[in-house]
Structure formats: structure tokens, C-alpha cells
Amino acid sequence: MTGRIHDGSNGDVAADMYNKYKDDIKMMKSMGLDAYRFSISWSRILPRGRVSLGVNKQGIDYYNDLINTVIANDMKPFVTLFHFDLPHSFATRVRWLLKQRRGFFREYAELCFREFGDRVKYWMTLNEPWSYAYNGYVSYEFPPGLDPQINSLPASIVHSPPPVASQYELSRPHHHIEQHHQLLNHIEQQHQLLNAVPNSIINNQRVNNIGTTIYKLYSEPDPPRDAHAAASNLIYYSGSKRKRDPAKDAYTVGRNLLLAHALAVHSYRTKFQERQKGQIGIALNTFWCEPHMKDDANDKEAGKRAMDFTLGWFLEPVLTGQYPKTMRDCVPSGNLAAFSDGEAKMLKGSIDFLGLNYYTALYAANDPNPSHKQGYKEDQRLHLYLYMREDYHKRHLVYLLKAMKDKQVPANVKGYFVWSWCDNFEWAVGYTVRFGLMYVDYENHQKRYPKASAIWFAKFLGSKKLLRAN
């Protein structure tokens, strides 16, 4: 979203995989990789969201060539159908709040099964639905990113003209504006806006919560360019007339995502699977939670709650047809709507395999004074603390193998995907972090250079070919 990225960047070009995929896939093969996981963009093949509104043949051709290139290089394609992007006509503030999206997703999934299923044998319906629901409707860091406090402001404020709107910056400090100028405050107009905006918003400086902060800017700008840029950030919030309920929005989105998944799986199993001989699953994300005080019974329970509110929220329904008991006990039934008998039956067992994305671990501590407010954060009744792990791949794979060889409960692990192949545009943090095996030189036509981790991985996989920069 414009103005929401920490470094002021965008993903228009990013790592340019769109144009470099053939060379990238050759390098993957040279490393000894035998599978490549990628996502299909709903909007690329259905720009208006539905088959009846037109299929983009060029988009179909692109993915056909990508899939064929992967297979020609002795790798298996693992394909994700939804990785947060929606067709523009769907990309309103309600997004997955509408149950109609479920049927639209099934229609899109069936098109993919028909076009690519003769070669794609591993499908994932959704990537990290927890991240989508949480970051879009709890932390407001991902689209639609609409803070309900700001959404509730008078229309005269959110529709303020640029001279008024430009005095305020929403979300994190926008570095591209800060580094150039700050904006001029016109005192009379400032008071008009301040009188209408709750102090809880003006004073909130928790910059980790995208969309919950309005910063007052004091320095003189160079109008009109900077004023227009800041005004655009405020205007983003205008025009929403829907009465929202932030305490339940994330749960509503999660429910619709789960049922969209179930519909797509049902279509695949009844119309395509027998002929195409493939498998279908889902890619969930989680973090492991350790009790903050290892001998504290309340912290141990907090750790279990944290797991239920992240992994369990989406895993238990696709296994059992029900939400975790912890969530049913903690969340008001009006917010976490139960599945009907038919929905539960369709959800239960709706995966052939599970993709599990995980990156680190957290400490969980019980909240002795839980808030009386309702909402995803408050419902968990806990606090989470982060710790980091170094030497990630080597140490992690050692313990993964140990889990697979466990004599009592061996982990049935079939594969391991590194996040990520190359440095990328990482959502709200832009290009400020680099996770790739390949270094991407964004200033030199996205040229790739193997990092030490890529060299190590090639040796680990037993590749005999030298890894060279593209």
C-alpha cells in the first residue's frame, strides 16, 4: 500500500523474478534443488476476479512456461493459489469479510486445476492465512490496513482537502517524506482536525502497529508535492461507509478463508484429483511458544493458548472441523461463529498434506490482568516475547532430522523449503531485510550473487556443480 512501506519502496520490480525465472531456475538446479514452491497471482490470470469477466491468456501462458521450465530442470512445482493478493475489483476494505469471496476463490482455483493440473501435483490453497487475518485486521500492517479508530472519524475529517489532510501522517513515519521535508502545520486547520480526532490516536506512538498512529508534523515543507503525498495517505481511509466490528473482523476473515479452502479442496477431489493424481493441502504459519517462566503453570497454559490462537486457529478446523476448544472458550460466540454441520463436514480432513511455515520461537507469559475489551489480541490473555536464533539452516536441519528419527513419535517430514530463494520485497518492511540464499543487487538490474548460505546449501545437497553468479 502506498505510504505504508517502511523504506518508502514498492514491489513494482522487486527481485524481477517475472523476467529472470529461467535463469533463476537453472541456478536452483545447479544447487541441487529438486522442488520449487511459487504462487499464482489471482489477478494475473483473472484481472477482474471472475472467469465470466475475462481470462488473461497471457497470464495463463506465463504460468505454463514457468511450470514447464521447472519440470524441464528436474524439479517439482509446488503451487500456492492465494498469497495475499486479490484482483483489484475485490481489493476493497472488506476484502475477505464477504462470504461471496469463498465461491469466487473456488472458481479461480478450478481454473488453475484445469489449466495446470496435468503437471502440478502439489497444490496449496492458502499461504499463511493467520498472517493475512492478523496483519490485515488486527495489527493493520497488511491490506486493507484500516484502523477502526480512524475509520470512525467524521466524514468531514477523512475527506479533508489536501491543505488540511496534509498536516497529518498516518502509520509509521514515512522515510521518503521525512528525509525530504516535514509538513507545515496551519494552526487554525490543525485545531479543527485535532478537536475531532480522539486523543488515543494522536498520542499513540506504538510504531509497530501499522495504521494506529497519526504523527503531527512541524517543519516547513516544499509544497505542493509533499503535501499531496501526505494527503494521499490520509485519503486512503476515505469513503468507507461500512459499519465495522474490529473485535470480530479477523475471525470473520479467518472463517471465510477456511471455507474458501474447503470449497477449493472439495472441487479438486471431486472433479480433478482422480484424473490428475495430485495432492492438495494448505500452508500455515506458526511460531513455537515456550513459557516465559518455565516452571510457572500459568505461563505454560499461556504458551498453549498462543499455539491455539495461531496454528490451531487454522489447523484444527481442517483436521477436525472445529476450532480449538481454547478459542471457543475465550472468544465470544458472536465473534467466533461456529461452523454448521455441513461446513464442519467439508472442512474435516480437507488436506492431503500440511505445509508449515515457521521462522523463530517466542516466550509466552500469562496476562494476570486481562482486558475486558474484545478482540483477537485481548482474547488470548497473554504476552509474547521474541528471541532470535543464529546459524539457522544448519542447526535447524540437525533437529529436524532428529525429530524424523524420534522412536516414539517420528515426524513425517517429506520436504523442506528455504525462505527464500533470493532477497525479495518483504511486505511492509520493504527491502530493509534480506532472507535470500541469493543476494539481489537492486541497484544493478537485480543481479544475483550467491551468499555463503547458498554455497553451504549446495554442498549440503551434494551438488557437484560450481555455483556462479548470474
Strands annotated E in 367-444: 382-387, 438-441
User: What is the rounded distance in angstroms from the CA atom of residue 189 to the CA atom of residue 167?
Assistant: 9
With H, G, I as helix, E, B as strand and everything else as coil, classify residue 109.
Answer: helix
Cβ burial, residue 279 (10 Å; 0-12/13-18/19+): middle
The answer to whether 324 touches 308, Cβ cutoff 8 Å, is yes
CB atoms within 10 A of CB 350: 24
Alpha helices in 331-438, H assignment, sequence order: 341-347, 376-380, 392-404
Burial class (CB in 10 A: 0-12, 13-18, 19+), 330: middle
d(CA 330, CA 336): 10
Q: Are 442 and 424 in contact (CB under 8 A)?
A: no
Q: Residue 265 contacts by C-beta under 8 Å, 6 or more apart in sequence?
A: 125, 280, 350, 351
Burial track 143-181 (b if 16+ CB lie within 10 A, e otherwise): bbbbbbbbbebeeebbebebebbbbbbbbbebeebeeeb
Q: In a 3-state reduction of DSSP, which class is residue 179?
A: coil
H/E stretch holding 375? none
Q: Contact 258/99 with Cβ under 8 angstroms?
A: no
**All cell numbers assigned to 296:** 510457572
Residue 117 DSSP code: T
Distance CA 384, CA 380 (A): 10
Residue positions annotated with a catalytic role = 128, 390
Three-point CA angle 446, 448, 451, nearest 5°: 135
